[in-house]
Amino acid sequence: MKKLFASFLLGVGVWIGGSMALAQTPAAEPASAAAPAAEAPAAAAPAAAPAAAEAAPAAAAPTPKVDSGDTAWMLTSTLLVILMTLPGLALFYGGLARSKNMLSVLMQVFVIFSLISILWAVYGYSLAFSGDGNFFGGFDKIFLKSVTTETFGALITIPEYVFVAFQGTFAAITVALIVGSFAERIKFAGVLVFAVLWFTFSYVPMAHIVWGGGLLGKDGALDFAGGTVVHINAGVAGLVGAYVLGKRIGYGREAFTPHSLTLTMVGASLLWVGWFGFNAGSAGAANGAAGLAFVNTVLATAAATLSWILGESLHKGKASMLGAASGAVAGLVAVTPAAGFVGPMGSIVLGLIAGLVCLWGVGGLKRMLGADDSFDVFGVHGVGGIVGAILTGVFAAQSLGGTGGLTPDTFAMGAQVWIQIKSVLFTIVWSGVVSFIAYKIADMTVGLRVTEEEEREGLDISSHGETAYNR
């Protein structure tokens, strides 16, 4: 705990030390998860010419108006993100579990999605996307107060209700991702208590800090669709959970093989399809940025799939279906923060790097850490998110085919990479501290670990009284 607290102080110190020198003008609005690229020109203009912005304030504030094309695309994107959670993530994780725990994994993902969707509407949206605090927003829109069919959120061409729904799916899948780290040994009640605490004190503030006008957004951090907010945030929480709960009975002595790679492949495929809503939908409009994010999501994922199975073949002599599916997810994770900021060739290189680094993350790094991260949440989402977030600062450069981020006229690779590194360090420390406290509170209230007898029997029967398969 002392080391964790020391790391927190170091991370905050590093961030504060460089933020003032490298931050862009505060007049620039930070990009939200729904429209970082779409808002980039509006954010860059005041930074490039503040005098002109002061001379013509009316021109800097276009009138909100519903665009049917943008609205249709964002509704579709919202559905796609739901698809990647239910059933995509559920089947991906469920196939990796042993058959006696299949249903428990499905149940955890399904119920977490339901729980977080409610909490998002009650207070999550307000704390993330209203107010101007550095770490939390405000209570202006608690219980969706003042949100109507006529209001607009961070996007000025889609109704606010659509923005609320889209962002709510991001919150739900982020919490559900953590399930893969402590699967097969956690109490269902413990999952729910942890989910509420972690959502409230890790996801919501990180969404505000990066996308809602908070600290990292003001500093100019680039995160198109959730490299820090979603993947590093969840990956670190998963690693902490693996340590807190301890290893599964028989870990290291028994073969914990996936019970259905067929379902895992189906789940990975649904994740890939749904991720187009995740990434291309984060353009916030049916525009060129959405098209760029769409292409990059195809290319980076394909490249990571190939690099993973190549590395696997060189190391083990064979390429596996599990490797291909894992590589695809690694590519999807890595391109998430970069999707609307890098060019197609940059996304290919990013995917190639991510596939190999995440392969090491679930192998060599996992052995070094000594944690029983059941389905490699940290090795894929944590490591892939770190790689993607940092390399976004590299491949966003115009000289490498990128867009120049939020301030193309003043983009500097070195400065942007440093901003990205600070955002990564901040996220690791924030999520690590909050996760540890949330797990401990859950353990002290309802308990985290099932009994040895229940674990051996399987959580399907011991926690839910039913099985995924009837013999």
Per residue in 397-429, pLDDT tens?
Answer: 999 999 999 999 999 999 999 999 999 999 999
Q: Please, which pLDDT band fits residue 57 given cuts at 50, 70 and 90?
A: very low
Are 47 and 410 contacting, i.e. CB atoms less than 8 angstroms apart? yes
Distance in angstroms (rounded) separating the CA atoms of residues 35 and 28: 14
Residues 242 and 373: beta-carbon distance below 8 Å: yes
In a domain, 63, yes or no: no
Total residue length of the chain: 471
pLDDT of res. 38: 38
User: From CA 306, how far away is CA 62, in angstroms rounded?
Assistant: 45
What does the alpha-carbon distance between residue 197 and residue 203 come to, in Å, rounded to a whole number? 10
Residue 471 is assigned to a structural domain of this protein = no
pLDDT in tens, 327-374: 999 999 999 999 999 999 999 999 999 999 999 999 999 999 999 999
> Which pLDDT score, from 0 to 100, does residue 470 have?
84
Q: In the structure, what pLDDT confidence band is assigned to residue 30 with cuts at 50, 70 and 90?
A: very low
Mean pLDDT across the chain, nearest whole number? Answer: 89
At 20 the pLDDT is 34
How many Cα neighbours within 13 Å face the side chain of 150?
1
Is 207 within a domain? Answer: yes
Can you tell me which residue has the tokens 């994994």?
Answer: 105
Is residue 163 predicted with pLDDT exceeding 80? yes
- CATH code, domain with 209: 1.10.3430.10
Q: Is residue 28 part of a domain?
A: no
Average pLDDT for 307-325: 95
Q: Rounded to whole angstroms, what are the CA distances from 203 to 77, 228, 390? A: 21, 10, 20
Q: Is residue 469 part of a domain?
A: no
pLDDT at 60: 61
Q: Is residue 254 part of a domain?
A: yes
- Residue 162 makes CB contacts below 8 A (sequence gap 6+) with 71, 74, 75, 78
Domain-embedded: residue 11: no
What residues contact 227, with CB distance under 8 A and at least 6 apart?
333, 334, 336, 337, 338, 385, 388, 389, 392
Domains: count for the chain: 1
| Tokens representing residue 98 in the block | 């042993």
Residue percentage of the chain with pLDDT more than 90: 85
Q: Does residue 50 sit within a domain?
A: no
**pLDDT, tens digit, for every residue of 121-147?**
999 999 999 988 999 999 999 999 999
Task: Tell me if 108 sits within 8 A of 98, measured CB to CB.
Answer: no
Question: Tokens 């984060």 correspond to what residue?
Answer: 282
Pinpoint the alpha helices (H) of 317-412.
321-335, 344-361, 364-369, 377, 383-395
pTM as predicted: 0.87
Q: Which residues constitute the domain of residue 160?
A: 68-464
